[in-house]
Homo-oligomer: A and B are copies of this chain.
Amino acid sequence: MCAMASPLDRIRVVLCATSHPGNIGATARAMQTMGLSQLVLVTPQRFPDADADAMAAGAGAILNAACVAASLDEALAGACLAIGFSARPREFAGTVLPVRAAMQEALRYAVSGDVALVFGTEMSGLSNAELSRCQVVATIPAVPDFGSLNLAAAVQVAAYELRVAAQGGTVWTAPAFAPATQEQIERLFEQGERALIAIDFLRPAQPKRLLPRLRRLFSRARLEKEEVNILRGILARIEERVQNGWRK
């Protein structure tokens, strides 16, 4: 008899530049209590580490299987939805959801694709550059002037909401389309930048806020694979026209 795969198996926890290895261990434990297993560490300050092992309690297997990534982009490879956690996503104008709704959304995507939950450093959370890689920001309701949960405590709340949602009896159906992966989207952005420079709309010396604005728009749209293909086709045509010269 083979076990049914759970959508929870497709949800990874990504910790960015964690300072204290104890928090990595406590995160592994929080994940294990709720049935999550994939942990990705982006440039952790100390890992592996005895403090991580101590705080993991029975969740050593998650630590042992944890991947260390050199960048957030690497950590997001293959994911079709990245949800960043932020107490004050001031600069993020995409979809901001309370953690409960965000985890329901995560589960919906995880039926058919990989999902990443992204957490920043203990001191300052996610940077704007990191948030720009996320399509959704989840906020955990907290006291406004003391909103900073411990890192592993935030993971615990998120994992708890995932488990409640997974048990909900709701039948989770996949989105009726194929979401683009993070890499496909990044390649689109790279090509878009080249094309905007080629038509002399973007000046690398004075980029202003053009690219972040466009990134924000397309993150919000949660691009599908086919849409990325269409947009890249358009960009390729523009580049080709610029290359070959063209007069109507």
**Residues of A in contact with B (beta carbons under 8 Å apart):** 26, 29-30, 32-35, 55, 57-59, 90, 92-93, 95-98, 100-101, 140-143, 146-150, 152-153, 156-157, 160, 163-164, 167, 170, 172, 174-175, 177, 196, 198-201, 210, 213-214, 217-218, 220-224, 226-227, 230, 233-234, 237-238, 241-243, 245-248
Min CB gap A198→B, angstroms: 7
A-B CB contact pairs (8 Å), 25 listed: A26-B150, A33-B143, A33-B147, A33-B148, A34-B142, A35-B143, A90-B175, A92-B175, A93-B177, A96-B174, A97-B172, A140-B160, A141-B160, A141-B167, A143-B163, A149-B156, A156-B156, A199-B238, A201-B237, A213-B227, A214-B227, A214-B230, A241-B242, A242-B248, A246-B246
Oligomeric state, in number of copies?
2
Most buried by B among A147, A149, A163, A245: A149
Across the interface, name the chain B residue whose C-beta is closest to A29: B150
| Extra contacts besides A217-B224, A241-B242 (6): CB < 8 Å | A93-B177, A198-B248, A199-B241, A201-B234, A210-B230, A221-B221
